[in-house]
Amino acid sequence: MKAKEIFRTDKDIPVLAAPMAGVTDHSFRTILLENGADCVYTEMVSCKGLLYGNQKTFELIKTDGKMRTAVQLFGHEPSDFMKAIDVLQKRYDDLLLFDINMGCPAPKIYKEGDGSALLKDPALAMKIVEAAKSVSAIPVTVKMRTGIDSSLYDYTGFASGLERAGADAVTVHGRTREQFYSGSSDRNKIREIKEALSIPVIANGDIFSEEDAFSMLEDTGADGIMIARGMLGDPFIFGRIRNRLEGKETLQPSPEDKTEVIRRQYLMAEEEKGEYTAIRELRKHLVWYVKGIRNAASLRNRALSIENRSELEGLLRELLIRFREA
Ligand SMILES: Cc1cc2nc3c(=O)[nH]c(=O)nc-3n(C[C@H](O)[C@H](O)[C@H](O)COP(=O)(O)O)c2cc1C
């Protein structure tokens, strides 16, 4: 399958919004789709959480009705992935694909044998993909890093194994587990994986601008790109990248566009989670949205302490003025 078929888009080069734990909830995913992301990923979802019927786990998965939401799963037992996919397929009929997390470096995930720990056991990683594929009615993809630490690691061999096991596409963040976010995403390694595989390869890591997107595609030959930190406080990046890829002039969002996006994101979250939780979860997004404004320390502090909707409206009025000045 070509990338555009897997990600169900009419664009030859899909631009995807990455899974981000604690960030990509339904309201933010909706904003990302509305601003040009070709598809969005849920936060990573525990297979075990789904199997135990944990309500909080299910809250991470709210779909858009248009098959543009990918669910990212983590775990390490092939049978858990099969059962989790079965549970999800019975409950949702509009999921885009299942993605398997083989990249998360967080100690609490790694020590359970999940996320990037799977890079240490290619045979198990392949069994997981085979198991997922045996029950899934939609594509199964994998998101990986390029190794555990600075020792030699056969990342092309690992990715080729995933392909043989039936993965429909692989997303590569060109860092090792040990690097977390230090150094940079290694484009040479992504290109080597792209050259070794016949399935689509999505390049991820350090795309913060249209120029980064363009050069990432040039340097790696990847079939698509995925953006994580670059979309924080800037969901408009997807529109800008699409324009750049199509050779069109880049449009900058107006101050009104920016404040309206924040309000909309909040209102959706409020409807789903209530004012108390929605306000608290919005705080970190507000800090990202004000990044780039000069002398924003006081705005940042205010953003971190807002308590309710009316304080948010006050902050948005001030933000509108500050965005206009910028
Ligand atoms: C706060 C945060 C949460 C993340 N959560 C996930 C996750 O749930 N699943 C995953 O595969 N990657 C996760 N990532 C990694 C990103 O998806 C991405 O691979 C990484 O940030 C590199 O891309 P970037 O340079 O565009 O940020 C997370 C990253 C951050 C910063």
* Angle at which helices 155-165 and 122-135 cross, to 10°: 30
Q: Does 17 contact ligand 1 (Cβ within 6 A)?
A: no
Domain end residue (candidates: 211, 227, 245): 245
Domain end residue (candidates: 245, 274, 305): 245
* DSSP 8-state secondary structure symbol assigned to residue 24: -
Q: Among 77, 1, 311, 124, which residue's Cα sits nearest to residue 9?
A: 1
Q: Does 229 contact ligand 1 (Cβ within 6 A)?
A: yes
Q: Give the Cα separation of 148 and 176 in Å (integer).
A: 5
* CATH value at residue 190: 3.20.20.70
Q: Assign 126 a pLDDT band (cuts: 50, 70, 90).
A: very high
The residue that leads in pLDDT, 304 or 250, is: 304
Q: Assign 251 a pLDDT band (cuts: 50, 70, 90).
A: confident
228 alpha carbon to ligand 1 midpoint, in Å? 6
Q: Which residue's structure tokens are 């970190």? A: 284
Q: Is residue 250 part of a domain?
A: no
What does the pLDDT read at residue 322?
93
Domain end residue (candidates: 214, 245, 276): 245
| Total domain count, the chain | 2
Task: Give exposure, 109-146, as e/b (b: 16+ Cβ within 10 Å).
Answer: bbeeebbbbbbeebeebbbbbbbbbeebebbbbbbbbb
pLDDT tens track for 180-219: 999 999 999 999 999 999 999 999 999 999 999 999 999 9
Q: Give the Cα separation of 31 and 231 in Å (integer).
A: 11
CA distance to 22, 48, 262, per residue, from 44 (Å): 9, 12, 24
Q: Which ligand 1 atom minimizes the distance to the CA of 115?
A: 11
Length of the chain: 326
For residues 198 and 311, membership in a common domain is answered with no
For residues 214 and 272, membership in a common domain is answered with no
Look at ligand 1, atom 28, and give the residue with the nearest C-alpha.
Answer: 20
Whether pTM > 0.95 for this model: the answer is yes
Q: Which of 229, 234, 285, when mutated, tests ligand 1's pocket best, judged by the most ligand atoms within 8 Å of its CB? A: 229
Contact (Cβ atoms closer than 8 angstroms) between residue 194 and residue 165 = no
Q: Among 192, 188, 189, 197, which residue's Cα sits nearest to residue 167?
A: 197
Q: Assign 101 a pLDDT band (cuts: 50, 70, 90).
A: very high
For residues 143 and 181, membership in a common domain is answered with yes
Q: Among 21, 64, 89, which residue's Cα sits nearest to residue 268?
A: 64
